[in-house]
Amino acid sequence: MSVFCKICNGYEVKEKWPTVYNKNIKLYYCNNCNHGFLNPYFSKDELDNFYKDEYRKIFVFNIPFKKTVKSVKQMMEDTGQLTESTLRANMIIQKDDNKLNVIDIGSGTGMFLNCCYNINRNLKLYGIEPDDDHKYLSSNSDKFLIFNNLDEVKKLNVIFDKVTIFHTFEHIENLGDFLENLKQIINEKTEIYIEVPNGEYNWVKKSFVHLAHPQIFSKLSITKVLNLNNYKILSYDRYDKRTDYLICKVRFENQKQDQYLKLKNNKLLENIIDNAKWGIIDAFLKFIKDKSILIIPAKYLGVLSRLKYKYKK
Ligand SMILES: [Zn+2]
């Protein structure tokens, strides 16, 4: 079966290497879009199972010691995610944004929504989070409403003033469908913020490409997929000096957009992909991690893996 690019649907793609997490799932690169993607990808059932089990094991640092709001807050503080959420909220929410409808797609434990609430208590805050553990921690809040998916939100007949999508867009296999669906809860005034890992950031290990991210974006590829679905880029934003993420502030305009044609295709992502390494030491460390998770309860591994953040400080 031929493989086509998830952005341009073109066949000018190159097979690169198998992911370190599953040898059957391979990384591809599209020359036209400067885009990376995984193929073949999980079926819906496989994906559900993956998120229930394997996903948390890849990111043990995101397993709280206890399933309580306090423990999650401590975890978010330790890993710097609380600071990130605060910076994002300060960038996006104004004190006088009264009664606006704001939705965070992929709201996790509700950290960002909490930060929005702390800036302005007159916002109407919503979240979408499919993960039950995360939802459990945020769904009993009286500050915001959490839903399972976009279909549930559509039934509310609310048009949102601000939509935030932080580190969620790269998890989606069919971006066209998602962007089409999104149009039902927004209008041409809605401000949309999409933040993804920056594929052109100088990553060196093959483990950067993991199974939860079927898309690896460059500035060109994220601009292109948004433009092709009639979303216009208003600005590329940043909340600190780091370069490992990209934020696009966008708006839906019901006409053809061609901003991507003005961007140069530097093919930088291909260079990074071709130079990524996975040596014997990396493989050994992954082996140890995979084995220890069978013996040590995940919540203890979570605490252990967060020690590295303490040493960095
Ligand atoms: Zn392409």
CATH no., domain 47-312: 3.40.50.150
Percent of the chain with pLDDT strictly greater than 90: 71
Residue 79 has a pLDDT of 80
Compute the average pLDDT of residues 152-163: 97
Instruction: Give distance in angstroms: CA of 214 to centre of ligand 1.
Output: 14
Banded model confidence at residue 313, pLDDT cuts 50, 70, 90: low
Instruction: Give distance in angstroms: CA of 221 to centre of ligand 1.
Output: 8
Compute the average pLDDT of residues 52-60: 77
Instruction: Give distance in angstroms: CA of 79 to centre of ligand 1.
Output: 35
Instruction: Give distance in angstroms: CA of 2 to centre of ligand 1.
Output: 14
Instruction: Give distance in angstroms: CA of 139 to centre of ligand 1.
Output: 39
Compute the average pLDDT of residues 40-59: 86
Give the global pTM.
0.93
In the numeric block, the tokens 């967060």 are attached to 306
Instruction: Give distance in angstroms: CA of 4 to centre of ligand 1.
Output: 8
Instruction: Give distance in angstroms: CA of 232 to centre of ligand 1.
Output: 19
184 Cβ contact list (under 8 Å, min separation 6): 150, 154
Residue 312 has a pLDDT of 64
Domain spans of the chain, in order of start: 47-312
Residue 202 has a pLDDT of 92
Half-sphere exposure at residue 134, Cβ-oriented, CA atoms within 13 angstroms: 22
Compute the average pLDDT of residues 78-89: 90
Q: What's the pLDDT tens digit per position in 259-299? A: 999 999 999 999 999 999 999 999 999 888 888 888 877 77
Contact (Cβ atoms closer than 8 angstroms) between residue 225 and residue 175 = yes
Instruction: Give distance in angstroms: CA of 239 to centre of ligand 1.
Output: 29
Q: What's the pLDDT tens digit per position in 188-222? A: 999 999 999 999 999 999 999 999 999 999 999 99
The pLDDT of residue 139 is above 70: no
**pLDDT higher for 79 or 167?**
167
Q: What's the pLDDT tens digit per position in 170-191? A: 999 999 999 999 999 999 999 9
Instruction: Give distance in angstroms: CA of 48 to centre of ligand 1.
Output: 27
Instruction: Give distance in angstroms: CA of 31 to centre of ligand 1.
Output: 7
Instruction: Give distance in angstroms: CA of 8 to centre of ligand 1.
Output: 4
User: What mean pLDDT value characterizes the chain?
Assistant: 91
Instruction: Give distance in angstroms: CA of 177 to centre of ligand 1.
Output: 17
Instruction: Give distance in angstroms: CA of 262 to centre of ligand 1.
Output: 16
The pLDDT of residue 61 is above 80: no
The pLDDT of residue 93 is above 90: yes
